[in-house]
Amino acid sequence: MTTAQTTAQNTSNPLLKHFDTPYQTPPFDEIKPEHFVPAIEASIETARLNVKKIKSQDDAPNFENTIEALETASEDLGTVSGIYYALLSVIGGDAYQNLAEQIGPMTALFSSEVSMDQDLFARIKAVYDDRENHDYNDVEKTLLEDTYKGFVRSGALLSEEKQEKLKELNQKSSTLSPEFSNNLIQSSALYELRITDEKDLSGIPDTAIEGAKQAALDKGYENEWLFTLDFPSYIPFITYADNRALREQIWKAFSNRAYGDKFDNTQTLQKIMKLRNEKMKLMGYDTYADFVLEERMAKTTQQVIDFLDKLKAAYKPGAQKDLEELKAFAQKTAGIDEIMPWDVGYFSEKRKVELFNFSEEELRPYFPLDKVLKGTFQHFSKLFNLAFTERADIQTWHKDVPAFEVSDKNTGEIFGVLYADFYVRKDKRSGAWMGTFRNHGLFKGETPPAVIEIVCNFPKPTKDRPSLLSFNDVETLFHELGHALHGLLGQTKYQSTSGTNVMWDFVELPSQLQENWLYEKETLDLVSEHYETGEKIPAHLIEKLCASKNYMSAWMGLRQTSLATLDMAFHSVQDPNLDDIVAFEDDAIKDCSFFPRYGGPSATSFAHIFAGGYAAGYYSYKWAEVLDADAFEAFKESGLYDQDTAQKYLSMILRRGGSADPAILYRDFRGRDADPDALFRREGLLKKVA
């Protein structure tokens, strides 16, 4: 391509122009896959020039001309790459997936180039070494320390030979996580359970049956019902379907995702681990976990292992009891002598109905998505005085995705823009997450509002019913909006210290905390309304929901502990033998398992640690549960919507982002460290803890 052609393409590329949109939000209507590579290339060159200016100036290095200047040097690159990786997850498909093979290595090489630049690092080190002679505020201290440590942890102190090797490893690694994620999506899409006999629908809720009917029609399957491995389809089937043989079939398909088919993730996983271990040896760490945990609240691998051992000791006896009771129930009610993994959810739900005269499916008609969303916004309005205003003039990536302006309902201050992508779609990544297009903080010399997304995979409306959520779906919405508000309400000067840019084992506190309100009538009244009658959830159903809250809690707690243990097994062992992934996994979680293996390994679909940011960090869900259980006790003591408590939490936790050590932030809010027994009190397991 000639220089003239490149210039013409760049001037017509919406990613390389000023976004003339509300709050400089991305112009999604204009963005096409072919715009990304030239935009990444151009923004890297802009960033290179900015870095060159920092290095070549005559003035002695100081905080403003070096640390702050570097903080804003790659703004364009951060914007473009952020949009790309967001669209890769929510749109996906070959057009975006294929770009990862170009974009990943380009951005990885540039990142390595900057972090290993000796002239740049010399300036950073000079400012860092002189830090005691300056009266920096907390945010500046954190940015300075994070910048210095970030360079060291990216190889700035390595020899030139080792730096070149690290660059090579970083480039190779950059394409593997997107590859892992895409394999999981594509493998899941291979499976279809097409039901033609209505008898095989026995036990399945009407809402799931309607969804399956619509899914079949969308595929052109007449007089059929289609079930897939997407959560809104899979979970109702495995939980309620009376046909045991079909439960077994779909369970095995789910457990074999990205294993044993053309999208098998085994080799991708092995490559990821090989590169991670090579990088750690190069950096002088024994294991990947040692490297990661150095910058976490937990600090050391041993502390995480001790934490998981404590959880295991608390949960395993109760989980064993849960299973024995399920076995007895299955034998009594169905004559089944040997319960299988695909029976656990089914008989657990049946037994729950017997014990509490309650099924969470009874709540689904009260949770139409529109009402839940409106009520969720009211909840956050009561807590933090927020207003959510839908903005039809803000472009989104799909017609089903609304955008909301988030502001202070009293002062009118604008905090940011929130995109909400709710429904299952082809090629969209499974699960739920919060993502950031722009944090609060310096951007182009100003501090514009944050731009945040939440993404879920809720059931689509059918021609006869709106999208009706399960109670778990509502918890998911509260969880992701907890993350989103962490991003939207951050108020630090710099993007890298704002919002969810906190230590990884602290990041789940604002999200998990919000789930607690959903066991309170005052909050349930806000988010519920029967889609046909308009009635609130009856008091007797709320009582049953709360009474059944800790049902099978030990079983579920051990499941989470098992996944965290598997994560640590991969990342806390020097050169783990991964020739046989199944054998490795079985050995790692043998103390958390009650069944022999009947399906594939969890590892090949464990996107959190191989395609997300949770490597050596999956324990953080349980770690943060201790914090959120303790934090919610503060609200229970003072009042669910007590403004003094809410404003203290807002100012001490949400607004401050990662501007200080999270242990300090938490103590500032609570007046003390978290009580480690708060989680077990909430789960009704305190008596089982020594």
3-state secondary structure string, 336-359? Answer: CCCCCHHHHHHHHHHHHHHHHCCC
CATH number at 329 reads 1.10.1370.10
Q: Is 480 a catalytic residue?
A: yes
419 found inside a domain: yes
In the chain, % of residues over pLDDT 90: 96
CB half-sphere exposure, 312, CA atoms < 13 A: 18
623 found inside a domain: no
Asked whether the predicted pLDDT for residue 6 surpasses 70, the reply is no
Q: Report the pLDDT value the prediction gives residue 1, as an integer from 0 to 100.
A: 46
pLDDT in tens, 603-635: 999 999 999 999 999 999 999 999 999 999 999
The answer on 529 and 490 residing in a single domain is yes
What does DSSP assign to residue 464?
Answer: S
How far apart are alpha carbons 79 and 667 in whole angstroms?
Answer: 34
626 found inside a domain: no
Active-site annotation holder among 480, 508, 529, 683? 480
Secondary structure, 3-state, 101-123: HHHHHHHHHHHHHHHCCHHHHHH
Are the beta carbons of 511 and 479 closer than 8 angstroms? Answer: yes
Angle at Cα 303 formed by Cα 300 and Cα 304, nearest 5°?
A: 95
The answer on 373 and 325 residing in a single domain is no
Report the SS3 class of residue 249: helix
Nearest to 113 by CA among 69, 156, 147, 78: 156
Q: What residue numbers bound the domain in which 528 lies?
A: 364-547
Q: Is the torsion defined by CA of 576, 581, 583, 584 positive or negative?
A: positive
Give me the mean pLDDT over the 492-509 stretch.
Answer: 96
Say how far residue 248 (Cα) sits from the centre of its chain: 29
Asked whether the predicted pLDDT for residue 690 surpasses 60, the reply is no
687 found inside a domain: no
Model confidence at 9, pLDDT cuts 50, 70, 90, reads low
Are the beta carbons of 142 and 658 closer than 8 angstroms? Answer: yes
Last residue of a domain, one of 146, 174, 202: 174
Q: Is the torsion defined by CA of 154, 157, 162, 163 positive or negative?
A: positive
64 found inside a domain: yes
pLDDT in tens, 57-72: 999 999 999 999 999 9
Number of neighbouring beta carbons within 10 Å of residue 671: 9
pLDDT in tens, 102-114: 999 999 999 999 9
The answer on 87 and 30 residing in a single domain is yes
The answer on 91 and 10 residing in a single domain is yes
Q: What b/e readout covers 348-376, taking b as 16+ CB neighbours within 10 angstroms?
A: bbbbbbeebebbbbbbbbbbbbebbbebb
The answer on 202 and 55 residing in a single domain is no
Q: Report the pLDDT value the prediction gives residue 575, as an integer from 0 to 100.
A: 86
The answer on 214 and 161 residing in a single domain is no
Which residues touch 560 (CB under 8 Å, ≥6 apart)? 621, 622
How far apart are alpha carbons 427 and 425 in whole angstroms?
Answer: 6
511 found inside a domain: yes
Angle at Cα 356 formed by Cα 538 and Cα 634, nearest 5°?
A: 70
Q: Report the pLDDT value the prediction gives residue 4, as an integer from 0 to 100.
A: 39
| Phi (first) and psi of residue 420, to 5 degrees | -130, 105
pLDDT in tens, 354-364: 999 999 999 99
Give me the mean pLDDT over the 413-422 stretch.
Answer: 98
Give the type of residue at 367. Answer: F
Greatest extent of the chain over all pairs of C-alpha atoms, in Å: 84
Asked whether the predicted pLDDT for residue 187 surpasses 60, the reply is yes
pLDDT in tens, 154-167: 999 999 999 999 99
The answer on 222 and 119 residing in a single domain is no
Q: What b/e readout covers 303-331, taking b as 16+ CB neighbours within 10 angstroms?
A: ebbebbebbbebbbebbeebbeebbebbe
The answer on 163 and 230 residing in a single domain is no
Last residue of a domain, one of 516, 547, 578: 547
> Beta-strand (E) ranges in 551-648?
none
How far apart are alpha carbons 60 and 41 in whole angstroms?
Answer: 31
Q: Report the pLDDT value the prediction gives residue 685, as an integer from 0 to 100.
A: 84
> Beta-strand (E) ranges in 142-286?
193-195, 225-227
The answer on 278 and 311 residing in a single domain is yes
Report how many domains make up the chain: 4
Nearest to 241 by CA among 256, 225, 255: 225
Asked whether the predicted pLDDT for residue 235 surpasses 50, the reply is yes
Q: Report the pLDDT value the prediction gives residue 190, as an integer from 0 to 100.
A: 97
Nearest to 576 by CA among 308, 289, 265: 289
Q: Report the pLDDT value the prediction gives residue 630, as an integer from 0 to 100.
A: 97
How far apart are alpha carbons 277 and 575 in whole angstroms?
Answer: 7
655 found inside a domain: no
CATH number at 94 reads 1.10.1370.40
Tokens of 267: 């080799």
The answer on 219 and 125 residing in a single domain is no
In the chain, % of residues over pLDDT 70: 98
642 found inside a domain: no
How far apart are alpha carbons 139 and 148 in whole angstroms?
Answer: 14
| CA 238 to each of CA 168, 203, 322: distance values in angstroms, whole numbers, following the listed order | 44, 10, 18
Last residue of a domain, one of 232, 255, 278: 255
The answer on 233 and 321 residing in a single domain is no
Average pLDDT, the chain: 96
How far apart are alpha carbons 51 and 441 in whole angstroms?
Answer: 20
The answer on 290 and 157 residing in a single domain is no
pLDDT in tens, 464-488: 899 999 999 999 999 999 999 999 9
Q: Report the pLDDT value the prediction gives residue 8, as an integer from 0 to 100.
A: 44
Are the beta carbons of 179 and 268 closer than 8 angstroms? Answer: yes
